[in-house]
Structure 1
Amino acid sequence: MTSKVQWGVLSTAKIGLKAVIPAMQKGERATIAAIASRDGDKARAVAAEYGIPRAYGSYEELLADPAIEAIYNPLPNHLHVPLTIQALEAGKHVLCEKPIALTAAEAETLVEVSKRTGRRVAEAFMVRHHPQWLKARDLVAEGRIGEVRTIHTLFSYYLTDPTNVRNQAEIGGGGLYDIGCYAINTARFLFGAEPERVVGTFDNDPEMRIDRMVSGLAEFPGRRHLAFTCATQLSPSQRVVVLGTKGRIEIEIPFNAPNDRPTRIIVDDGRDLFGSGREAIEIPVTDQYRLQGDAFSAAIRGEGPAPAGLDDAIANMRVIDAFFRSGRSNGWERP
């Protein structure tokens, strides 16, 4: 195996510090070599705490580091495209947090830059690397639960702090961007198709103006459906249920899967409502962020398949765009 990919991290965002950096530091193919913040003292403090060799007081300094090969971009949503473009122009590959952009049109601007610079861009949907999702997709493909007709997804948390970036409408806050995108992405992953039309209903916070609850229906080819609710001011909950003609699959902790204990997929053949035909499939302990970092690093080295790239990210954004249009039109919209 060739040398590890040298990674730089843009900002000291919580998702990076709590999940991504510690995971990638344990990876086989990635090394976190530098971190940047607009506050140099904060960058240096984080670097010291996490054992990161170099710290920079600006994003530009990090991007100018010739030893850095790839960038992890966990900045607020409105900065995803501008800083990803800067990184690509600096010759770096980019793993960008979801959503890749604020609109599909904005995401499409990355295509030309990626082609011109010869650098990869991937959207950080870590769930696609977790064995529980790969197992669920395999079970669907094998026909274990018959013909899959609908997927029901719930993802919620409670956050009312107006200073949190997730609650700032002007920089891309709100539930659909933050967590509704997972429902869309994983349904596309399991169905292996794109929705033909969507309809959604929005409950917006009257003061922060972000969508605090969205319920949506996406119709896929063959009259297959995704039905979901995402919410930022409800009791924390996550669940995905995949319903077929001969049973169901339930993913108990689908999105924030723990890295310190096994996860479970429940497969039920539907013989009754008491779970008589229920089987629990245990998925060994793993860290989906480590798997994500290693997969993208391997692709950079040409040692593994490329993770879902810009085409997939743009397709997901088109569905998000359609849901926002539906919220305004109160009707069905086509991605």
Structure 2
Amino acid sequence: MSATKKIRWGVLSTAKIGREKVLPGIQGSETGIVAAIASRGLERAQEVAGQLGIEKAYGSYEDLLADPDIDAIYNPLPNHMHVPLTLQAAAAGKHVLCEKPIALNAEEARQLLSRSDDRLIAEAFMVRAHPQWIRAREIVRSEQLGELKAIQAFFSYFNDDPGNIRNNAEIGGGALLDIGCYTMLAGRYFFDAEPQRVVSLIDRDPEFGTDRITSAMLDFGQGRQLNFTVSTQLTAYQRLQLVGTKKRLELVIPFNAPLGGEVSLRLDDGSLLGGQSAETETFAPCNQYSEMADVFGRAILGEEGLPYGVEDAIQNMAILDALFKSAESGGWVSVG
């Protein structure tokens, strides 16, 4: 594919995250355009296509996948449909950016290894493309924090709607798969390492059966620890602290960086309590979904390698599996 040609994206479903965040992000990217969208009903697809200025609308996912003009697929379907539709898209010759979590478990995710090697598949963790995460890791690697030993994360929102898919345990609902994947990922990203063992505590909703509050500790070896709590039934809040032997780094809005708004990092040597000694680094407004689309787009165009592919996504699921297993067993579980 020529680097002068824009990637033509097709979108499976009219899901809210696609309509409000990822599709506008792709449309604002340097490498791609949203050329088609599909829904289970043609009328709904046409409605959203009209709202977002998308050229083609399809009344089935299969019809979109059969379109020879589509280069890449964005898959924001419910969690239990991620692997089946991603495999169908890859078999149809499309590259696929799939929403997180990429599967319900690692065993299912390993099915993605069967795709053709020339079809790229990646998990849609937009945070890894945001300048604040990239800059934060640069600070960690520069050893300004000293030795990074502790990461603390919290991510929550309140949603007790029985009709919401996030509250359906059978199709992958619950806090750990929905947002715990982000807090877990922070450990892998900033430690530049894999957890050796994990332990977790889960409180499940008695009606939904989903994990509504999950807390965990991940042991990365050499004294490095990630601690996090995630919840679907607490007031909305998020934080991410990277604490080293010399300084502490705080990502103020780490996961849902506001589109069109500034974000900042706070670097603190602890000389004054209450964060009064912190130095703030502010980032200009940025669309992390556009950045993510361009990372994937440049890999498709052959301009850069794909930094995180199928194997990375499988590892994410293996860690999440271990966290669920730990809650069931009540003890530490090794991550192999």
TM-score with structure 1 setting the length:
0.98
- Per the TM alignment, residue 259 of structure 1 is displaced from its structure 2 partner at its CA by 1.6
Superposition pairs for residues 110-259 of structure 1, below 5 Å? 110-115=112-117, 118-259=118-259
| 1:46 and 2:70 correspond | no
How far apart in 2 are the matches of 1:84 and 1:199? 31
Superposition pairs for residues 264-283 of structure 1, below 5 Å? 264-283=264-283
AA aligned opposite 2:269: D
- Per the TM alignment, residue 276 of structure 1 is displaced from its structure 2 partner at its CA by 4.2
Residue 288 of structure 1 is matched in structure 2 by 288
Residue 88 of structure 2 is matched in structure 1 by 86
How far apart in 1 are the matches of 2:103 and 2:25? 24
Residue 312 of structure 2 is matched in structure 1 by 312
How far apart in 1 are the matches of 2:120 and 2:141? 29
AA aligned opposite 2:206: P
How far apart in 2 are the matches of 1:307 and 1:257? 21
How far apart in 2 are the matches of 1:164 and 1:334? 33
How far apart in 2 are the matches of 1:275 and 1:239? 14
Secondary structure (helix, strand or coil) at the match of 1:189 reads helix
| Residues 208-231 of structure 1 deviation map (CA, whole Å, 9 limit, x = unaligned) | 100001000000021200000000
Residue 32 of structure 1 is matched in structure 2 by 34
Residue 7 of structure 2 is matched in structure 1 by 5
- Per the TM alignment, residue 295 of structure 1 is displaced from its structure 2 partner at its CA by 1.2
Secondary structure (helix, strand or coil) at the match of 2:304 reads coil
- Per the TM alignment, residue 306 of structure 1 is displaced from its structure 2 partner at its CA by 1.0
How far apart in 1 are the matches of 2:139 and 2:20? 32
How far apart in 2 are the matches of 1:237 and 1:270? 23
Residue 99 of structure 2 is matched in structure 1 by 97
AA aligned opposite 1:110: L
AA aligned opposite 1:290: S
**Residues matched between the structures, number:** 333
Stretches of 4+ moved more than 4 A in 1? none
- Superposition CA RMSD, Å: 0.8
What runs of 5+ residues in structure 2 fail to find an aligned partner? none
Residue 67 of structure 2 is matched in structure 1 by 65
| Residues 295-316 of structure 1 deviation map (CA, whole Å, 9 limit, x = unaligned) | 1111101012313111111111
Q: More displaced, 155-164 or 275-284?
A: 275-284
How far apart in 2 are the matches of 1:33 and 1:187? 36
AA aligned opposite 1:223: G
How far apart in 2 are the matches of 1:221 and 1:62? 46
- Per the TM alignment, residue 271 of structure 1 is displaced from its structure 2 partner at its CA by 1.4
Residue 323 of structure 1 is matched in structure 2 by 323
Residue 263 of structure 1 is matched in structure 2 by 263
How far apart in 1 are the matches of 2:275 and 2:324? 38
Residue 76 of structure 1 is matched in structure 2 by 78
How far apart in 2 are the matches of 1:260 and 1:57? 33
How far apart in 1 are the matches of 2:45 and 2:247? 50
What runs of 5+ residues in structure 1 fail to find an aligned partner? none
| Residues 132-157 of structure 1 deviation map (CA, whole Å, 9 limit, x = unaligned) | 00011000000111101110000000
How far apart in 2 are the matches of 1:312 and 1:223? 24
AA aligned opposite 1:120: L
TM-score with structure 2 setting the length:
0.98
Q: More displaced, 299-308 or 200-209?
A: 299-308
Percentage identity across paired residues of the two chains: 53
AA aligned opposite 2:23: I
